[in-house]
Structure 1
Amino acid sequence: MKIPLKMLSVLAGIGIVWGGSALALPADTADNVIKQLTAPLSSGGVHDHSDHDHSEEDLTKLPLGDGKYTLTGPKKGYIYLQSKPQDGRGASKDGEWIDKANGTFDLTRKAVVDGEVHWQSELTIERKGDKRILTGNRLPDHPTGSFPISKSDDAYQYDQNPNSIREQLFRVELPANPTAAKMASPVNSGAIGIMLTGSLIFNGLDASGRDAVAHETQDAVTGTPSKAGNTTITT
């Protein structure tokens, strides 16, 4: 299965960053934004953006982000990491859509994990005093591919991800009125945020420091389960 020309994407809204220091929004403004973005979606959270103007985005020649990380501080075009990737996990084979010679990849040719599995998502966001409390089950409110990746799926030849999606209850407390941090902080190799769809946000590199979107075989909304069973979206 290949990515359809009519690109589908999840209406993620705002990714709420762990630690709560990324959004300098007044509390009332944040409340209004969250109310709008958590309103029910008529199509189950998946929207057709075929009419979106991609004239400035050549999906056949997206820049390859392999090794684009820094350990010493923020840098344009790079991901600021806590530590150097070194465990070597990830896709076992480069896809034909990756052009290392020119440093690009063709998203329209990339293999996509088959399936359309629906989940019973639970996500509650409420404000109590100076805290914004998130509780849920970490299941997405949109369809996903079938995981673990089946051997009959063409995506399996590139990535044999054995992980499955499963319910996990969680509770996170964030400041109701966050302020911008004085200094940038590096991200870790795990979850760095929560989407309003119920999925977790991971940074854009795989465990080996390669461009995760280019190398990992994901489903139609660039999602894949982590080892812990969380549904993750790579940014």
Structure 2
Amino acid sequence: MTGELSVGIIGSGPAAAGAAWELIEAGASVTVYEKDTTPGGLCNWGIPDFTLPEAVAARPWQQLTAAGVDLRCGTEIHPEDLDRLLGAHDAVIMAHGASVPLRLSVPGADLGGVTDATTFLQGAKAALAVGGDPDGFCATLGLAGEDTELAGRPPRVLVLGAGNTAMDVARTARRLGLAATCVDWLDERFALTRPDELEEARGEGVEVRFSRTLTALRGEAGRVTRAELARTTQARAGRRPT
């Protein structure tokens, strides 16, 4: 390749960084368009600092810009902009991430107080930053105020799953002063999270219950108040729990 190929990349998360590296090494000219003021995508705003420190998350883009990538932060690309980008580049890579979360398929999934991991982690990271407002963030989730206290205990969040993302959510909840319980339908022998991360989460006060699955959410006045769980069994790693 002679360097004549020009490629635009929309987004600056892990997929975008990987594509940029491959293209730069092949001799292409690469321009990255990122709507946020800081590159990194999910690595920047969706992974807690205790899992991925900001200095480490920033390193790939420091290296990429030094290698010649034209990084344009604060540039949001809309559908109507695609024709213009295709006119400016030989190819455009869509690496803007999965912005639509999966929805629960259980009764009560639409109750207030039910949220997805990405929304929670993004809001919590801002709330826990210097100058942030943890109490205000908890209030937006309905987790603040006298009505959330039960026998002097902190408000509790239920996290579905016990993989790496679930551990991030639960450990972040603990840093917000909340009690956190993870439930996962897998047997603990086949847990998807790393053993050291599971140990750290439990050491921070996260309760983890394996061989459980959510069957329904119940609420009052439009807000979730309790969860109904069922036990599961799993004979071996390759077999779906029942």
TM-score higher than 0.5 here?
no
Structure number with higher relative contact order (C-alpha < 8 Å, ≥ 6 residues apart): 1
What TM-score, normalized to structure 2?
A: 0.22
Whichever structure has more helix as a proportion of its residues is: 2
- Radius of gyration: which is bigger? 2
What TM-score, normalized to structure 1?
A: 0.23
